[in-house]
């Protein structure tokens, strides 16, 4: 299945320019040390999450047609979908969010995050990192001024089981990389489609014609002959070091029984796979659950194609029911397996959509355009109170007006739940100090 593009036509090829996947050190001792320090923070907040699944809805999903309908607004704002009741009194979702509306007691909804970055590149960066871009950027730009949440988690929590600590399924989002942390904290990208009958992850199987003994011999030989001097990776980004990391990562994955088991999605019973939905997105959600079971700290499920300048209503009629089903199945499955309390699940994009329905793109079928004054974030698990709605937008969905929050508050909440101090000071390779998040205030309603 081809990955969906945004209005600027960004593809997987563009993402490859940023570099993919690698391995890092740290290990279990380091992860426990970091979590222990956070547990003794000045606020006395105890970490509640061990893993995080980020469902990244690239393009900017519509809040009106999903989780913040406005039934009393004028027709040109209200849209074509009816609201439905959730199992929280007084809270409504769109008619196509049936399964999540029936299980709202498993998650929380944030309706009041807003920011001032109304294009894809800048909005993506802000929500992925908690840091606004330093300079104006174009809509189609790949922006990297600050490490992403996934890369920070990879650095701070390490890889206690030998697997890479940060995976991105299908591709890496444009601001999902490590920036100054270096290539070893980039995500390991699983580009293949787990919905395919011949699904096979690169670097997790021996090349054809190579036996286990032959592979080990080549590995030993490489270690003997490779004596090139290395630049200190803390001082400069050495491409040879990055290649070393890629080689080690591939070797570890091929020889790892944990990796072999985690990626063997065909071990899942048919009824479980059917429950998630037999499409690429549903099976990536299932694969994310399997990676959580393998103790991978951060997994991004990249879900593109939410940039609906046109064809909004026919597209959503087809897509929203399957998306709703897959996300609900993920939350239910994690909960039934006793994993939801320690796994933080997030679903969001870079911004919401304009209140007024438009034909800005010239299409005869209407859509909604970029809008950063209002959006939604679904947050579940990892100690998140269940059945909570934080904040509100005005009656026409123009702006967050109640309990107004920023991307910094959101990212600080994620770090706090994972036992990472959002106020931590990092240093770039040039020695420049930079705060992990400039405003390290988490959303206290979402902390246990």
Q: If we measure between CA atoms, which residue out of 271, 274, 350 comes closest to residue 54?
A: 350
3-state secondary structure of 207: coil
Lowest mean pLDDT among 188-202, 351-365, 426-440: 351-365
In whole numbers, what is the pLDDT of the chain averaged over residues?
84
pLDDT tens digit string along 316-345?
A: 999 999 999 999 999 999 999 999 999 999
Do the beta carbons of residue 24 and residue 158 sit within 8 Å?
A: yes
Above pLDDT 70, what percent of the chain?
76
Mapping DSSP to helix (H, G, I), strand (E, B) and coil, where does residue 414 land?
helix
Taking residues 253-267, what's their average pLDDT?
A: 81
Tell me the pairing of strands 51-57 and 298-303: parallel
Contact 282, 326 (CB under 8 A): yes
pLDDT at 153: 98
Span 229-249, pLDDT tens digits: 444 433 334 444 554 555 555
Which residues does 323 contact at the CB level (< 8 Å), separation at least 6? 281, 303
Give residue 270's pLDDT.
97
Which residue is listed with tokens 């969001």? 348
Q: 138 in helix, strand or coil?
A: coil
What pLDDT score does 32 carry? 46
Maximum separation of any 2 CA atoms in the chain, in Å: 73
**Backbone CA torsion sign across 291, 131, 417, 435:** positive
CB 94 within 8 A of CB 320: yes
Residue 293 included in any domain: yes
Tell me, yes or no, whether 248 lies in a domain: no
Helices (H), 255-351: 257-263, 270-276, 280-293, 312-336
Q: Please give the structure tokens belonging to residue 413.
A: 């909440």
How many other C-beta atoms are found inside a 10 Å radius of the C-beta of residue 150?
29
Residue 118, token pair as written in the block: 């109304």
Mean pLDDT in residue range 352-369: 85
- Check residue 200 and give its pLDDT: 82
Q: What pLDDT does residue 42 have?
A: 44
Predicted confidence (pLDDT) per residue in 11-32, tens digit: 444 443 433 333 333 444 444 4
Q: Please report, in angstroms and rounded to a whole number, the separation of the first and last CA atoms in the chain.
A: 40
- Number of domains within the chain: 1
pLDDT of residue 161: 78
Indicate whether 230 belongs to any domain: no
Minimum mean pLDDT among 5-9, 248-252, 431-435: which range? Answer: 248-252
What pLDDT is recorded for position 258?
81
pLDDT at 13: 42
Q: What is the pLDDT, as a whole number, of residue 3? A: 57
* Radius of gyration from C-alpha coordinates of the chain: 22
Instruction: Give the Å distances, CA to CA, from 155 to 151, 262, 385, 426.
Output: 6, 22, 27, 11
pLDDT at 144: 77
Q: What is the CATH number of the domain that holds 278?
A: 3.40.720
Would the pLDDT of 227 be above 70?
no
pLDDT of residue 448: 78
**Token reading at 265:** 């999605």
Domain-located, residue 231: no
According to the model, what pLDDT value does residue 233 have?
39
State the residue range of the domain holding 283. 12-204+256-446
pTM for the structure as a whole: 0.84
Confidence at residue 213, expressed as pLDDT on a 0 to 100 scale: 52
The pLDDT score that the predictor gives to residue 162 is 77
279 lies in a domain? yes
In a domain, 121, yes or no: yes
For the segment 202-227, the average pLDDT, to the nearest whole number, is 49
Is position 6 within any domain?
Answer: no
What residues form DSSP beta bridges with 389?
109
Domain membership of residue 4 (yes or no) is no
């Amino acid at each position: 299945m081809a990955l969906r593009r945004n209005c600027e036509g960004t593809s997987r090829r563009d993402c490859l320019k940023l570099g993919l996947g690698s391995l890092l050190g740290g290990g279990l001792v380091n992860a426990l040390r970091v979590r222990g320090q956070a547990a003794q923070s000045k606020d006395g907040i105890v970490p509640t999450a061990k893993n995080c699944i980020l469902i990244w809805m690239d393009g900017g999903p519509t809040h009106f047609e999903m989780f913040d309908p406005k039934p009393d607004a004028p027709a040109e704002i209200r849209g074509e979908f009816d609201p439905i009741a959730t199992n929280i009194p007084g809270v409504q979702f769109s008619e196509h969010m049936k399964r999540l509306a029936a299980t709202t007691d498993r998650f929380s909804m944030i309706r009041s995050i807003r920011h001032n970055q109304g294009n894809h590149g800048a909005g993506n960066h802000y929500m992925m990192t908690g840091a606004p871009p330093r300079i104006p950027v174009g809509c189609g730009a790949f922006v990297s001024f600050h490490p992403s949440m996934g890369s920070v988690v990879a650095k701070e929590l390490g890889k206690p089981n030998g697997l890479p600590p940060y995976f991105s399924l299908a591709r890496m989002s444009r601001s999902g990389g490590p920036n100054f942390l270096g290539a070893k904290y980039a995500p390991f990208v699983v580009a293949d489609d787990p919905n395919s009958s011949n699904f096979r992850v690169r670097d997790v199987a021996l090349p054809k014609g190579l036996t286990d003994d032959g592979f080990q011999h080549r590995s030993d030989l490489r270690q003997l002959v490779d004596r090139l001097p290395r630049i200190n990776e803390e001082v400069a980004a050495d491409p040879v070091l990055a290649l070393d990391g890629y080689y080690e990562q591939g070797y570890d994955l091929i020889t790892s029984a944990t990796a072999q088991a985690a990626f063997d999605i065909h071990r899942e019973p048919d009824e479980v796979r059917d429950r998630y939905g037999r499409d690429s997105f549903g099976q990536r959600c299932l694969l994310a659950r399997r990676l959580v079971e393998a103790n991978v700290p951060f997994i991004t499920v990249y879900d593109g194609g939410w940039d609906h300048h046109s064809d909004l209503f026919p597209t959503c009629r087809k897509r929203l029911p399957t998306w709703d089903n897959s996300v609900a199945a993920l939350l239910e499955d994690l909960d039934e397996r006793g994993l939801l309390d320690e796994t933080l699940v997030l679903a969001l994009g870079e911004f919401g959509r304009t209140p007024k329905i438009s034909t800005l793109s010239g299409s005869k079928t209407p859509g909604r355009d970029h809008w950063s004054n209002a959006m939604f974030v679904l947050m579940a698990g990892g100690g998140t109170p269940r059945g909570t709605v934080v904040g509100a937008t005005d009656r026409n969905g123009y702006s967050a007006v109640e309990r107004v929050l920023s991307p910094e508050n959101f990212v600080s909440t994620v770090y706090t739940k994972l036992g990472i101090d959002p106020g931590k000071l990092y240093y770039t390779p040039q020695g420049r100090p930079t705060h992990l998040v400039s405003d390290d205030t988490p959303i206290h309603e979402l902390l246990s």
